[in-house]
Chain A
Amino acid sequence: MSKLTAAKEPRRRVNPIKELWRNKFLYFLALPAMVYTFIFSYLSLPYIAIAFEKFNYKTGIFSQFVGLKNFEYFFKSSWAWTITRNTLIINILFLVIGTVCAVALAIILNEVSAKGFLKASQSAMLFPYFISWVIVSYMLQGILGTENGLINNIIVSMGGERVNFYSQPSYWYPILLILNIWKTTGYNAIVYLAAITGIDEGLYEAAYIDGATRWKRIRYITLPLLTPTICILTLMSVGRIFYGDFGMMYAIIRDNSSLMPIAEVIDTYVYRTFKNTGDPSLSMAVSLYQSIVGFILVFTSNWIVRRKFPEGALF
Chain B
Amino acid sequence: MASDVIKTGSPPERSNKIQTSRNEKVGRFFIYFFVALFALVCVIPFVLVIIVSLTEEKSITINGYSFFPSAWSVSAYRQLFSRSSSIPRAYLVTGFATVVGTFIASLITFGAGYTLANKQCRYRNGLSLYFYITMVFSAGMVPWYMISKMVGCYDNIWALIVPSLMFSPFNMFLVRNFVREVPDALNESARIDGAGEVRIAFTIYFPLCLPVLATIALFYAIGYWNNYFNCVMLINDQKNYNLQMMLLKIQSEITAMSKVAQGATRSNPPRESFKMATSVITMGPIILLYPFLQKYFVKGMVIGAVKG
| Among listed B74-82, B83-91, B131-139, B208-216, interface-contacting one | B131-139
Report if A21 contacts B (CB, 8 A): no
> Could you tell me which B residues sit within 8 Å of A by CB distance?
1-2, 4-5, 8-9, 11-12, 18, 21, 23-24, 27-28, 31-32, 34-36, 38-43, 45-46, 48-49, 52, 60-61, 63-66, 107-109, 111-112, 114-116, 118-123, 127-128, 130-134, 136-147, 151, 163-164, 166-167, 169, 172-173, 184, 188, 191, 197-198, 201, 222, 225-226, 228-229, 232, 244, 247-248, 251-252, 258, 272, 275-276, 279, 282-283, 286, 290-291, 293-294, 297-298, 301-302, 304-306, 308
Contacts of B109 in A (CB 8 A): 33
A138, A186, A274, A302: the one contacting B275 at CB < 8 Å is: A138
Please state if A121 and B36 are interface contacts (CB–CB under 8 Å): yes
Least CB distance, A20 to chain B, in whole angstroms: 8
Report if A1 contacts B (CB, 8 A): yes
Contacts of B18 in A (CB 8 A): 208
Bound CA span A315–B174, Å:
11
Bound CA span A187–B294, Å:
10
Report if A123 contacts B (CB, 8 A): yes
Q: Which of A21-43 contact B (CB under 8 A)?
A: 23, 25-27, 29-34, 36-37, 39-43
Lowest 6 CB-CB distances: which A-B pairs, in order? Answer: A287-B140, A148-B64, A47-B143, A44-B143, A33-B112, A29-B111
B9, B64, B136: the one contacting A298 at CB < 8 Å is: B136
Report if A95 contacts B (CB, 8 A): no
Which applies to chain B's interface (DSSP): helix, strand, loop or mixed?
helix
- Chain B residue at smallest Cβ distance from A6: B119
Q: List 13 A-B contacts (CB under 8 A).
A: A19-B123, A33-B111, A37-B131, A47-B147, A108-B31, A111-B28, A113-B11, A124-B39, A190-B305, A251-B228, A254-B252, A287-B142, A291-B139
Please state if A153 and B64 are interface contacts (CB–CB under 8 Å): yes
Contacts of A152 in B (CB 8 A): 64
Contact-size category for A: 35 or more
- Residues A190 and B298 in contact in the complex (CB < 8 Å), given A29-B114, A132-B225: yes
Report if A214 contacts B (CB, 8 A): yes
Bound CA span A26–B163, Å:
25
Please state if B137 and A295 are interface contacts (CB–CB under 8 Å): yes
Report if A17 contacts B (CB, 8 A): no
Please state if B40 and A299 are interface contacts (CB–CB under 8 Å): no
Report if A304 contacts B (CB, 8 A): no
Q: Which of A246-270 contact B (CB under 8 A)?
A: 246-247, 250-251, 254-255, 267, 270
| Among listed A71-79, A139-147, A167-175, interface-contacting one | A139-147
- Chain B residue at smallest Cβ distance from A57: B146
Counted as pairs of residues, one from A and one from B, with CB atoms less than 8 Å apart, the total is: 298
Report if A176 contacts B (CB, 8 A): no
Which applies to chain A's interface (DSSP): helix, strand, loop or mixed?
helix
> Could you tell me which A residues sit within 8 Å of B by CB distance?
1-3, 6, 9-10, 14, 19, 23, 25-27, 29-34, 36-37, 39-45, 47-48, 50, 105, 108-109, 111-114, 116-118, 120-128, 130-135, 137-139, 141-143, 145, 147-150, 152-153, 182, 185-187, 190-191, 194-195, 198, 208, 213-215, 229, 239, 246-247, 250-251, 254-255, 267, 270-271, 274, 280, 283-284, 287-288, 290-291, 294-295, 298-299, 302, 312, 314-315
Least CB distance, B30 to chain A, in whole angstroms: 9
Please state if A40 and B120 are interface contacts (CB–CB under 8 Å): no
Contacts of B291 in A (CB 8 A): 123
Please state if A274 and B141 are interface contacts (CB–CB under 8 Å): yes
Contacts of B247 in A (CB 8 A): 134-135, 138
Q: A32-B112, A127-B1, A274-B141 are in contact. List 8 more A-B contacts (CB 8 A).
A: A44-B144, A47-B143, A111-B28, A128-B42, A138-B251, A141-B251, A255-B252, A290-B140
